[in-house]
């Protein structure tokens, strides 16, 4: 904990001194709150909600809200927030990044600003890096939230499946889970999980749900509310490393798949640095004048860049990209007759995921696999653009200061 204090104090000593005074005032409320019944504790939170709805600033409600959250944590989880964790919670509420290593209670710290910002009834989101952490942390903290009269939702996996979204319901029990933190996750429609006061989920699911909502034909088909407040765990990984990777929803296209096989065969005859130029930095491969002439002769097309040949030009470019930029066992595996994408950040395979705009078909043709029906992009957004839609954004990490300039420039953190 001393290490956490020093990391919080060094860059913003004046702010942290103020935060420690606030933490002390929170501590002064402890004896009074310890004497309250569970019902009275919940009534105090109801009072805070009414004050927030009446327009009172959350900053003014923070001391009492944090004190109530600390007391609820002590009663339900057996864990009491340390003063330095209160400071971390204040930092997050202010829309900043709190630097905490694993084991320093990030999950517990996040509960403080999540409760405070949930008072407005606009929803507060906790964004994790994978489905398991979203389920585990929601199940772990839900008793604390429940003690304060707040509901907890989880969005993970496929939204069309029964195990894709949940509310944490103390009356529901699934004893098939060996982990007690996961036994109270009751499957619900996606929208119900988002209507909860606090919702846990992965960056992928939050992003894809936003895209699906924007494609919905009717408002009744939408699941998300307006994006108000989010805390992003492992913020450096999600908002920097993966930020520019687009989330894409695709649909079937009408173009023939046979041409990909033909153009892949032609692309194999092209010579690097003579017929095409590769720019690895920009992940691009472009035909030279010699390459254009050679490809036109092989394809029997007078000018591949005429408007009437726009589809053929696109397929030729994708065939070239597949040959020049996408390498087997680096970008994808071939297994059971399929090209399976390898996640460039984690190194894990991504079964079922496909590159869009004909690229996956071009890779299949290159590898001599059966070329599947092409898809076209229906909607796309990067994580960078998605998270900028939140009215207030905060983050937790162990290495934030190394990316401080980029966080501030892009996200205002």
What domains are there in the chain, each with its CATH number? 2-249+384-411 (3.40.50.300), 254-326+353-373 (3.90.1440.10)
The CA angle 376-382-388, to the nearest 5 degrees, is: 140
* pLDDT the model gives residue 8: 38
> Is this model's pTM higher than 0.75 or not?
no
- For strands 284-287 and 198-202, give the pairing: unpaired
The residue behind tokens 């930020």 is: 243
* pLDDT the model gives residue 3: 44
Helix (H, G, I), strand (E, B) or coil at 5: helix
Helix (H, G, I), strand (E, B) or coil at 67: helix
Blockwise average pLDDT, block size 10, the chain, 413 residues: 39 77 96 98 98 98 98 97 95 91 85 99 95 94 98 85 85 90 93 98 93 90 96 84 76 75 97 92 86 96 87 93 96 96 89 88 96 80 91 85 57 55
Distance of CA 342 to the CA centre of its chain: 19
* pLDDT the model gives residue 6: 39
How far is the C-alpha of 6 from the C-alpha of 3, rounded, in Å?
A: 5
* pLDDT the model gives residue 9: 36
* pLDDT the model gives residue 245: 78
DSSP assignments along 351-399, one per residue: TT---TTTHHHHHHHHTTPPPPPPEEEEEEEEHHHHHTTSSEEEEEESS
Return the structure tokens found at 220.
Answer: 């009744």
How many CB atoms neighbour CB 137 within 10 A?
Answer: 22
**Which H/E stretch holds residue 200?**
strand 198-202
CB 390 within 8 A of CB 219: no
């Amino acid at each position: 904990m001393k290490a956490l204090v020093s990391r919080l104090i060094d860059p913003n000593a004046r702010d942290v001194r103020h935060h420690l005074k606030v933490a002390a005032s929170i501590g002064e409320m402890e004896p009074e709150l310890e004497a309250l019944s569970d019902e009275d504790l919940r009534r105090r939170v109801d009072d805070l909600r009414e004050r927030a709805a009446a327009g009172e600033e959350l900053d003014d409600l923070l001391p009492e809200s944090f004190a109530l959250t600390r007391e609820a944590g002590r009663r339900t989880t057996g864990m009491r927030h340390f003063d330095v964790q209160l400071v971390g919670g204040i930092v997050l509420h202010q829309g900043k990044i709190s630097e905490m290593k694993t084991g320093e209670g990030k999950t517990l710290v996040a509960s403080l600003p999540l409760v405070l910002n949930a008072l407005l009834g606009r929803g507060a989101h906790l964004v994790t890096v994978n489905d398991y952490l979203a389920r585990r942390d929601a199940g772990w903290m839900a008793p604390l939230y429940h003690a304060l009269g707040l509901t907890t939702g989880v969005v993970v996996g496929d939204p069309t499946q029964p195990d894709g979204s949940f509310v944490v319901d103390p009356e529901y029990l699934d004893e098939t889970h060996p982990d007690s933190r996961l036994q109270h996750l009751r499957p619900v429609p996606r929208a119900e999980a988002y209507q909860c006061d606090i919702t846990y989920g992965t960056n992928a699911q939050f992003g894809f749900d936003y895209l699906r909502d924007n494609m919905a034909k009717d408002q009744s088909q939408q699941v998300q509310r307006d994006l108000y407040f989010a805390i992003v765990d492992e913020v450096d990984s999600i908002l920097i490393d993966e930020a520019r990777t687009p989330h894409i929803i695709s649909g079937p296209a009408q173009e023939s798949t046979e041409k990909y096989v033909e153009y892949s065969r032609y692309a194999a005859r092209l010579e690097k640095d003579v017929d095409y130029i590769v720019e690895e930095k920009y992940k691009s491969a472009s035909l030279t004048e010699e390459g254009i002439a050679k490809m036109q002769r092989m394809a029997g097309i007078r000018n591949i860049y005429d408007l009437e040949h726009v589809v053929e030009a696109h397929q030729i470019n994708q065939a070239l990209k597949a040959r020049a930029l996408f390498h087997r066992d680096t970008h994808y595996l071939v297994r059971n007759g399929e090209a399976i994408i390898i996640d460039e950040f984690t190194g894990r395979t991504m079964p079922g995921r496909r590159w869009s705009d004909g690229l996956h078909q071009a890779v299949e043709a290159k590898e001599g696999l059966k070329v599947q029906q092409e898809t076209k992009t229906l909607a796309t957004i990067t994580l960078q653009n998605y998270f900028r839609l939140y009215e207030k954004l905060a983050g937790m990490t162990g290495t934030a200061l190394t990316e401080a300039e980029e966080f501030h420039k892009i996200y205002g953190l």
